[in-house]
């Protein structure tokens, strides 16, 4: 089936509408990532040291060794008493004495350790701010499966946008003499920089 100019325009418009906000975000975070060393943001760090209730320690001690789901009593105590909320699907590593849980996220990092012999909780959470949050979204770092799927689908839409844009250029080139020189310039500039300035 012949891919007509009208359908190219339609797909170009649709793909542009779908990925416009995403392209804007990725362009902005491309700049912030490129200048990450120049953007100084002091992370907000929260530390907690606390003694655990006996019933929570008892529930932890009954866990089998290895990767384990966090007991409901521990989750409730963390949320109510310490304002610490690990993701509902997050598991911990239990060796019979210490329970360790870590849950990094975009722009942030959290971990906690429970020593059942001492009956103590140690927690640290750090938040590097909104710029780090969006930078990690750009990289797909600690963002989860759904966001990774979004990046894949978004990339396909951008490819459609680019390919239909190329087809429109091919159709319009006979009427605009500058079409291919400008297109070639967009290709040659990054190639020149890579060959000459990147070693």
Cα 38 to Cα 43: distance, rounded to the nearest angstrom? 15
Q: Which residues contact 59 (CB under 8 A, 6 or more apart)?
A: 71, 72, 73, 74
Every domain of the chain with CATH number 3.30.160 lies at: 44-128
Q: What global pTM score does this model have?
A: 0.85
**What is the pairing mode between strands 91-94 and 98-102?**
antiparallel
List phi, psi (to 5°) of 60: -65, -40
Architecture of domain 44-128 in CATH? 2-Layer Sandwich (3.30)
Q: Looking up tokens 């680019």, which residue turns up?
A: 162
Query: Could you say which DSSP state residue 63 is in?
Result: S
105 bridge partner residues: 108
Positions in the chain short of pLDDT 50: 1
């Amino acid at each position: 089936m012949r891919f007509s100019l009208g359908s190219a325009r339609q797909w170009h418009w649709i793909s542009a509408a779908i990925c416009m906000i995403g392209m804007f975000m990725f362009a902005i975070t491309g700049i912030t990532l490129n200048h990450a060393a120049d953007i100084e943001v002091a992370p907000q760090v929260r530390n907690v040291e606390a003694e655990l209730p006996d019933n929570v320690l008892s529930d932890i001690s009954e866990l089998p060794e290895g990767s384990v789901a966090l007991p409901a009593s521990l989750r409730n105590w963390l949320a109510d008493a310490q304002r610490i909320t690990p993701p509902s699907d997050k598991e911990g590593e239990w060796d019979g004495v210490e329970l360790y849980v870590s849950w990094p996220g975009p722009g942030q990092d959290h971990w906690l350790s429970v020593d059942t012999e001492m009956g103590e909780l140690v927690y640290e959470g750090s938040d590097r701010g909104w710029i780090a949050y969006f930078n990690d979204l750009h990289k797909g770092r600690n963002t989860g499966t759904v966001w990774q799927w979004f990046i894949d689908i978004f990339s396909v839409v951008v490819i459609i946008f680019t390919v239909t844009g190329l087809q429109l250029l091919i159709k319009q080139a006979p009427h605009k003499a500058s079409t291919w020189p400008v297109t070639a310039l967009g290709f040659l500039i990054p190639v020149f920089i890579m060959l000459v300035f990147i070693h």
